[in-house]
């Protein structure tokens, strides 16, 4: 007990006397958990009763009874102040729940701490390391990012279960909840909320420098990508993760939880204690369970690769090519839209090629080749170069899309012939982007790559003769 007195500002004689309070501290850390203000009467002693389940504060004319509330409610109160280490310490000291329940509750607190570190403290690397230690599904970390990264997984800040809200309380009505111990006395002043330091207001994603978060997320997802690649190599269809499952009906679930814990605590109390006198709080932050379940490898790989592509677009565009030129599981529709939006046409060609969408790639190359803003894809040479990448099975597609480079080449040759005296400096420069018809035929149909050797030679000769008798080989 701490018998500290204070003089109120009011001149009322009834309140001019000193007031006294009892401090409740964590035995292990000595951190102040709660201050219970009593009346003006100074307590003269403290007595432990019922094996520590009740505490009696004795004054000259008054006796105050303090009782612990269920451990989950205590944890909820400490979490509302952002004191995650204190919550873990309280669980470790509790003797009202089984060891298995202690472990489950501790893991849930660590899970919430990881979310808090990421969203409220900007300690991204530490938070993601915690998620890794907990074997959490990658979607848990992805969901904490802005919508431009998380997409449909992005969480609604206002309904975020398990993180500290802007005003620091965990209930919908704005109350501070229930104090951990409860003082019973008709003459006692109201009990105060936890004396722990209130949480800082959560920074909105747009107010945070996300570069650091994105680099941390990039490293985190790369590790998961390697693990998923191993699972694919080993022909495993599922990968096990720990998944957070929100309770379907918060209020009913919380009532059941509170009743169960009250029953457990009640069995250890004296029979004279009335359980109904214990206030309950809604366990908003703890209203979830953690379950280990198998997630389809292909589905998780798609989420990880698509998110990596979004991260690369924002902070490391140079890594897009290495991602898309190898086997990947990026969602085509999302990735296509993002790459077009950022005008990453070369990387989009790589995406199409990796997914077997050869026609899409050729259509894009041809449109960019004709455009004056095509950049590195301007001209007919990118189309020809891509045709060399196609397998022999795509022979019909090769014939369809080799027409445009050959036709353009013939038109340019005719133009140069008509303007016999014109300088060739520009044409020399253009020839790098606009190969001649003969060089196109040589590259596509007459080189020594396996695909060209498998092309039907008679059909090739007929096709070239139809375009120009000078091209037949």
The confidence band for 363, taking pLDDT boundaries of 50, 70 and 90, is: very high
pLDDT, tens digit, 9 for 90 and up, residues 233-292: 999 999 999 999 987 654 444 445 444 433 433 333 333 334 333 334 455 788 889 999
Between the two ends of the chain, the Cα-to-Cα distance in Å is: 102
Out of 8-12, 187-191, 340-344, pick the least confident. 187-191
Scored b (16 or more CB within 10 A) or e, 291-330 reads eeeebebeebbbbbbbbbbbbbbebeeebbeebbeeebbb
- As given in the structure block, the two tokens for residue 165 are 């809200």
**What's the mean per-residue pLDDT of the chain?**
77
Out of 138-142, 177-181, 326-330, pick the least confident. 177-181
Alpha carbon distance 160, 167 (integer Å):
13
CA of 111: how far to CAs of 125, 137, 307, 331, in Å? 15, 12, 22, 29
pLDDT, tens digit, 9 for 90 and up, residues 26-55: 777 787 777 777 766 677 777 776 666 678
Alpha carbon distance 332, 18 (integer Å):
71
- Please, which residues bridge with residue 65 across strands? 56, 184
The confidence band for 418, taking pLDDT boundaries of 50, 70 and 90, is: low
- As given in the structure block, the two tokens for residue 409 are 């080449």
CA of 290: how far to CAs of 105, 150, 284, 286, in Å? 10, 21, 15, 10
Average pLDDT (359-381) is 91
Q: Is the pLDDT of residue 347 over 70?
A: yes
pLDDT, tens digit, 9 for 90 and up, residues 86-134: 888 888 887 777 788 888 989 999 999 999 999 888 899 999 999 999 9
Share of the chain above pLDDT 70, in %: 72
Higher pLDDT, 248 or 7: 248
Alpha carbon distance 348, 174 (integer Å):
49
What is the pLDDT, as a whole number, of residue 40? Answer: 66
Highest mean pLDDT among 16-20, 112-116, 167-171, 468-472: 112-116
Run of H or E residues at 57: strand 54-58
Out of 84-93, 214-223, 396-405, 424-433, pick the least confident. 424-433
pLDDT, tens digit, 9 for 90 and up, residues 435-446: 999 899 999 998
Out of 59-73, 108-122, 316-330, pick the least confident. 59-73
Run of H or E residues at 392: none
What is the pLDDT, as a whole number, of residue 399? Answer: 95
Q: Is the pLDDT of residue 69 over 60?
A: yes
pLDDT, tens digit, 9 for 90 and up, residues 140-149: 999 999 899 9
């Amino acid at each position: 007990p701490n018998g500290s007195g204070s003089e109120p500002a009011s001149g009322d004689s009834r309140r001019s006397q000193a007031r006294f309070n009892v401090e409740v501290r964590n035995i292990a850390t000595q951190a102040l958990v709660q201050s219970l203000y009593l009346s003006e009467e100074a307590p003269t002693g403290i007595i432990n009763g019922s094996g520590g389940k009740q505490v009696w504060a004795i004054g000259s004319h008054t006796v105050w009874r303090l009782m612990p509330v269920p451990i989950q409610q205590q944890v909820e109160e400490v979490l509302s102040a952002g004191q995650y280490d204190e919550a873990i310490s309280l669980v470790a000291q509790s003797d009202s729940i089984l060891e298995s329940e202690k472990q489950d509750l501790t893991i849930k607190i660590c899970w919430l701490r990881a979310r808090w570190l990421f969203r409220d403290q900007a300690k991204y690397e530490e938070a993601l390391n915690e998620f890794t230690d907990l074997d959490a599904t990658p979607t848990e970390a992805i969901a904490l990012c802005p919508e431009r990264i998380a997409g449909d997984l992005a969480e609604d800040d206002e309904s975020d279960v398990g993180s500290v809200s802007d005003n620091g309380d965990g209930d919908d009505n704005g109350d501070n909840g229930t104090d951990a111990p409860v003082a019973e006395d008709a003459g006692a002043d109201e009990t105060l909320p936890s004396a722990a330091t209130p949480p800082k207001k959560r920074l909105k994603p747009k107010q945070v420098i996300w570069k650091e978060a994105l680099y941390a997320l990039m490293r985190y997802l790369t590790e998961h990508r390697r693990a998923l690649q191993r699972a694919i190599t080993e022909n495993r269809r599922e990968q096990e993760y720990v998944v957070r499952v929100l309770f379907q009906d918060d209020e009913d679930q919380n009532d059941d939880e509170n009743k169960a814990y009250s029953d457990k605590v009640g069995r250890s109390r004296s029979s004279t204690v009335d359980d109904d006198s214990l206030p309950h709080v809604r366990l908003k932050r703890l209203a979830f369970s953690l379950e280990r379940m198998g997630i389809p490898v292909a589905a998780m790989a798609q989420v990880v690769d698509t998110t990596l592509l979004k991260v690369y677009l924002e902070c490391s565009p140079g890594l897009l090519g290495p991602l898309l030129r190898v086997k990947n599981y990026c969602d085509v529709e999302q990735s296509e839209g993002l790459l077009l939006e950022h005008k990453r046409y070369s990387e989009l060609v790589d995406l199409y090629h990796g997914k077997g969408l050869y026609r899409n790639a050729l259509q894009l190359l041809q449109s960019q080749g004709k455009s004056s803003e095509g950049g590195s894809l301007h001209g007919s040479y990118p189309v020809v170069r891509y045709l060399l990448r196609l397998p022999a099975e795509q022979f019909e597609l090769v014939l369809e899309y080799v027409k445009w480079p050959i036709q353009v080449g013939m038109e340019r040759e005719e133009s140069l012939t008509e303007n016999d005296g014109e300088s060739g400096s520009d044409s020399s420069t253009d020839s790098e982007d606009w190969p001649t018809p003969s060089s196109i035929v040589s590259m596509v149909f007459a080189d020594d790559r396996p695909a060209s050797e498998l092309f039907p030679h008679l059909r090739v000769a007929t096709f070239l003769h139809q375009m120009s008798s000078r091209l037949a080989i």
